[in-house]
Chain A
Amino acid sequence: MKYIDEYRDPARVRAAAESIRRRVTRPWTIMEVCGGQTHTIVKTGLQDLLPPEVTLVHGPGCPVCVTPVELIDKAVAIALHSGVIFTSFGDMLRVPGSSKSLFDAKADGADVRIVYSPLDALKLARNNPDREVVFFAVGFETTAPANAMVVWQAEREGLTNFSVLVAHVLVPPALEAVLNSPDCRVNGFIAAGHVCTVMGWREYEPIAKKYGVPIVVTGFEPVDLLEGIDMLIAQLESGRAEVGNQYRRAVRRDGNRPAQERIAEVFEISDRAWRGIGEIPASGLRLRERYRAWDAGTKFAVDVHGVRESEECIAGMVLQGLKRPAECPAFGTRCTPETPLGAPMVSSEGACAAYYLYGKRVQTDVPAASSEQ
């Protein structure tokens, strides 16, 4: 399969890993920002191929995980409104709110539907004029253009039975939050390739300079990740801190200008609370004044009270790379995908889900390939 197989090619993987081994002389801690990258790393056992000097820590790039519990509660309350068709990407459905997830709301009779694109939600609104269709607009900059597009389109069509519950977050402020943490031990960042497909990497240049950390825009396949790590190690070993681009097949410095324009037309930057991490200034998006009529948050007067977060969940620490999932006492016991305490255990980009699903929890029991026969 083109664009996949060549980036999973064992020979190229070995070559990239070998290059890292040759280059590295000291310990370095590298954070992969995106949860999709975390999943590739854990799923393919990439860490096993790295020299002991290189430590990977997992970053905050799981939009589902950082959506505040209040907003989940709000989504559940809106979904339970009579006449509402609540649409969402699949990831969001299992995320626990204070007492319910959207899946629980569905079992309680709410009309909750999985869509693959916000445009599908818009189509539902057109086809069901007597129903209110709400779309849970979650994501980083990657999903923002399409989510902006539907609101823009709804406004043009005068589609008043459609609205979006916005939970958008931005990567650069999150990187700064990680770097500003007193416990931060990150030496370099693997930046999320898909986010940069939209945004380019200009906005990372001041961060690399200010904090003296190299940042390499990287793809999602094993070869991509190893090449990205190799590029970071090359910079770190020679004392440089620049923005590099491994994901050349998809990303340019300026990103996708029309997509950025659509985002800016519909959304404006706002302060945002991140689940488990707290308020980060200028780290989210909200609808501009002109589009507020399509904001489900104001359209539905739902009162969310008794917001409750698991006291035991250390998602915030995991999302900042300060703790590993297995360091949580609840991991795999009181917190599993069926009984999650926090979102990272159920999101397909969550670090805890990756460790649970792909079994790092039993790694010590898993025999190495060579010792079997």
Chain B
Amino acid sequence: MLLAHGGGGRMTNRLIEELFLPEFSNTVLDTRHDGAVVAAGGAKLAFTTDGFVVRPLVFPGGNIGDLAVNGTVNDLAMCGARPMYLSSALILEEGFAMATLQRIVESMRIAADRAQILLVTGDTKVVDKGKGDGVFVTTSGIGIIEHPLEITPAAVRPGDAVIVSGDLGRHGIAVLCVREGLEFESPVESDTAPLWDPVRALIEGGIHVHCLRDLTRGGLSSALNEIAASAQVGVRVREADIPVSDAVRAACEVLGLDPYYVANEGRFAAFVPRDEAERALDIMRGFEVCRGAAIAGSVTESPAGVVVLESAIGGNRVLDMLSGEQLPRIC
């Protein structure tokens, strides 16, 4: 097992396709959405689970606690579901400071309150010193779908507009800077935040949302590639229209990273019909978390499964899925 198997790029996808899907394949799992959409007693529910292993546990803009809650809330939101119930399991390492745990748990509570999701069940395990990394958090969530829209990659159509909900790369860079002890003049804060409010507003605003995807591990590139592949469409985005803050751009330049591959924890891509795109953008921009939203591109019929990036100087290139992890370069 290599670290890249958990990187959210090509290696992760291969693991899913070659090991997990053959074992568990079913109609729900095979949609490969951020969460599963299931029927239960006449209701349409979304169900999702996620593990969090971030290091450092506390970073500018958040900690593993609010990250875990927001991550699951957002996976539900990407299914168009109102987050309702949350479970969490903590795997703690012997010797872990009680005060840090207190802080993490408090952050989880504040994040859950903010997203109006109720933590209704949990589990705690402690492992020997050296067998964990402080604390690992897993969360699962249930949400309810209260509208008739089918928000799934299969609903994406050529001509759809691709809206990016805000500036990219904050979370990945914030964590990297703390982890590596890199200091920049303007510190970058994680964008971790719940996304249900803008999604609900889009749906209630009558936007025929075709697909939503949060831009977590593997960043914008992985999200667009996954959707292009499963919807068998092309996606074309314009570099000049993809929002990235100067601080993140500068950090990426220095470190030799590409912001389109860097993880976000409070950003998503929305695929909406072209003629509703401007209105969708207005709705989204009404929320602080989406203030920087922009129409970054559109869906094309071909080349199927390929994401093309139009560079700022007018050249074209493929925006491929990440192979392995992004590594800082020599010079």
Contacts and interface: CB of A to CB of B under 8 A. Distances in A.
Contacts of A14: 314
A246 interface: no
B22 interface: no
A348 B313 contact: no
B2 interface: yes
14 contacts: A10-B312, A44-B312, A46-B315, A89-B329, A90-B329, A91-B329, A103-B2, A116-B182, A140-B331, A336-B323, A338-B4, A357-B323, A362-B318, A367-B308
B56 to A, nearest CB: 16
B246 interface: yes
A4 B249 CA distance: 10
Contacts of A348: 256, 327, 329-330
A63 B329 CA distance: 11
B189 interface: no
B72 interface: no
Interface in B86-125: none
A42 B317 contact: yes
B306 A349 contact: no
Given A337-B10, A349-B329, A349-B330, 7 more contacts: A10-B313, A42-B317, A48-B314, A94-B327, A359-B319, A365-B303, A369-B314
B25 interface: no
A181 B329 CA distance: 30
B241 to A, nearest CB: 13
- Bin the interface of chain B by size: 35 or more
Contacts of A362: 303, 306, 318
Nearest to A34: B331
Contacts of B246: 1
A206 B318 CA distance: 41
Interface string A327-340: 00000000011100
B302 A45 contact: no
Given A1-B246, A90-B328, A338 B11 contact: yes
B272 to A, nearest CB: 18
B320 interface: yes
A369 B310 contact: yes
A39 B256 CA distance: 11
A79 to B, nearest CB: 15
Contacts of B314: 10, 13-14, 45, 48-49, 369
Interface in B278-331: 300, 302-303, 306, 308, 310-320, 323-324, 327-331
B78 to A, nearest CB: 27
A93 B327 contact: yes
Contact of A139 (B14, B319, B330): B330
B319 to A, nearest CB: 8
B146 interface: no
A368 B246 CA distance: 29
Nearest to A143: B331
A366 interface: yes
Task: For the complex of A and B, list the 7 residue pairs with the smallest distance between their C-beta atoms, beginning with the closest.
Answer: A45-B315, A359-B318, A90-B327, A337-B323, A348-B329, A358-B317, A365-B303
Interface of A: 1, 4, 8, 10, 13-14, 36, 42-49, 63-64, 89-94, 103-104, 106-107, 114, 116, 138-140, 142-143, 194, 222, 336-338, 348-349, 356-360, 362, 365-369, 372
A107 B1 contact: yes
Contacts of A356: 320, 323
A103 B1 CA distance: 11
Nearest to B181: A120
Contacts of A194: 331
A349 to B, nearest CB: 7
A48 B331 contact: no
Given A1-B250, A362-B303, A369-B310, A49 B315 contact: yes
B149 interface: no
A366 B331 contact: no
A116 B255 contact: yes
Contact of B317 (A8, A13, A44, A90): A44
A318 to B, nearest CB: 18
A348 B319 CA distance: 15
B330 A222 contact: no
Residue with the highest number of chain A CB atoms closer than 10 Å, among B180, B249, B256: B256
A103 B253 CA distance: 24
Interface string B204-247: 00000000000000000000000000000000100000000010
Contacts of A8: 312-313
Residue with the highest number of chain B CB atoms closer than 10 Å, among A93, A106, A365: A365
A356 B319 CA distance: 10
Contacts of B319: 359
Given A116-B182, A338-B11, A365-B306, A43 B1 contact: no
Contacts of B317: 42-45, 358-360
Contacts of A91: 327-330
Given A64-B330, A139-B331, A367-B302, A44 B324 contact: no
